[in-house]
Chains A and B, each alone.
Chain A
């Protein structure tokens, strides 16, 4: 008995152990089987559900319920989009008018040139006329106070001409014209004396004056004609409001189907794209001094990010649960696309506003400071010595304060009180010249990645930016100086956007094939570009999908607990342009190999999130960037 009991005590756990061993070996297979069975059951249930019939009344009720909920949301989003569109359109018209006025001013100046010459001669004659009036004998022939009146008119005319020289203004031009006409009329009214004693020379002078003024009078008509043309154009553009069908759809959404609302959204998107493209073309035209049409040809047009949803157009009421599900998905997809359009439109409007400060072509309050920044970076790219720090921190601080993007406590407030004029901004000089000698080996070994900065951080010294969103390649035709032509990321940072890029050639396909990369592009057709998230494991960030003669953009955000100045060290292969919070801080041109300390800047970061955008131009081969950052006081230790 005892023996038997002991045997049982030994055997029972052994058997159990064997069972456990068995189950462990089979566990994965059985789990897989169970999963597959569960998946099959799920599929079967789905199929059965999809085929389940619905009564017509019930189906209609359910469809209406689904659509009603989303219709309200889509309507709300579309109203927002409409408001943004109207703002963008107003912005575009303003810029267009600015470009056309400038172009008009150039034409007017050409037309006005002979008028000015004639008027100058005429004005000289008026001096003679004054002398004539002063003459005891001959002066009696001229109405009393006439010369004085002419001199007043002349003074006014000259002042107006000076104003016109400073900048074209339609009102000033009109006043110049009126003053010129007034002078012509008054001078023409002078009765020439029928006195033999009248000096023949004086007579000639007066006749000459009258002739000049008559000529001037003829010339006056030409600018009038141009002005009329311009006014007609401006009026034509000013009437470009929301087309009637879309406006009607947006005003009466209750009786519109989701498909109709989606169509309206697509049309609105197209209008917004046209408006954005128009604004970008106007900005480029202003920068390059060209006309709108030639600027437009240089730009890549915005692309539609919305797509057709065929299931939305199904006219019949769903008869099965499957069809109802499809309809629900289609309605949800429509709502999602409209929501994205709304976000994108808002973002574009914001970007456009910040672009007013990004480049110097617009009339924003910080234009002069931007111009100063542009001048500084051009100067830096051409004149700076190796290791020399370009200090743009003060300019950035002022520009951010003026544009209102810096609301960082007392420091920002301090600079907001500075009354910066264009002249003072241009004359703004760095505090002192600083030269940095980077110990490349030491920094490469010790620099850490980081994007959040606080004074109390234990990590000191140089940090490098390793996390970027990258997009490209666009074709740059081997021109590494073509920063003037903005590509879509300069207008909007839309991580969901898809853009048309460089053509995917067989050579690119071969290179990919050698590296075992499958990109899914179609041969000999432009790539579809999207933002890629990348994290570099070293100081150098290489762009994905690297090809020769191409443009890439890199974007990231960094965070500062407190507003402060920082040193940045940028190295690029080949040329690059860098914006911080929309302000250009650095630019180089031409082919150059990467170097850790290619360029140093002292820049200003506001409190909170700061955005960095880099445009990288690649020449024949290799495309990489390094972006290091360090507090100026810490750098002195290196």
Chain B
């Protein structure tokens, strides 16, 4: 009589090393792709607004700052008027649709705000947003 030779030892794939490997890969990609975000903000008190449209933060937005005394900042760094013109001119040539966030202090000279908006408009940079302080939004 021929005996059945059924193999009762089941072959199993151990999950533990795979999970280890996946975790390692995950950590590797996290570390490899993690970029230190540049601090583009300057210390200002933005003007208050109750009608501003809430927009999701755009990390790629170019930040133009205006301090209380009317000094300009570009991407968090102090910028002269010449430099501001040059940067916005270059931006209009390379990425005219890129968002520009205007961080102006509530007490900043209005003339300076108009100046920045005029440069943007003249250079064809249409995607300009203004950062404001929304009491209602900040209370939530």
Contact = CB atoms under 8 A, between A and B. Distances in A.
Co-complex (A, B): yes
B135 A496 contact: no
Q: How large is the interface on B (under 10, 10 to 19, 20 to 34, 35 or more residues)?
A: 10 to 19
B35 to A, nearest CB: 19
B122 A531 contact: no
Contacts of A27: 135
B80 interface: yes
A594 B112 CA distance: 29
A340 B45 CA distance: 28
A87 B5 CA distance: 95
Given A31-B135, A535-B114, A495 B122 contact: no
Contacts, number: 36
B82 A557 contact: no
Output the residue of B78, B81, B85 with the most chain A CB within 10 A: B81
A533 B135 CA distance: 33
A121 interface: no
A35 B112 CA distance: 25
B80 A559 contact: no
A343 B81 contact: no
Contacts of B82: 340, 343-344, 347, 494-496
B49 interface: no
B33 interface: no
Contacts of A347: 82
A336 interface: yes
B127 interface: no
A504 B85 CA distance: 31
A108 to B, nearest CB: 46
A399 to B, nearest CB: 24
Contact of A343 (B86, B112, B118): B86
B107 interface: no
A105 B112 CA distance: 54
A339 B45 CA distance: 29
Contacts of A35: 45
B72 to A, nearest CB: 10
Interface of B: 45, 78, 80-83, 85-86, 111-112, 114-115, 118, 122, 124, 135
Given A495-B81, A533-B112, 12 more contacts: A27-B135, A336-B78, A343-B82, A343-B83, A343-B86, A344-B82, A347-B82, A451-B122, A495-B85, A496-B80, A533-B118, A557-B122
Interface of A: 27, 31, 35, 336, 339-340, 343-344, 347, 451-452, 467, 494-496, 531, 533, 535, 557, 559
The 8 closest A-B pairs by CB, nearest first: A495-B81, A496-B80, A533-B115, A496-B82, A495-B82, A496-B81, A467-B118, A451-B122
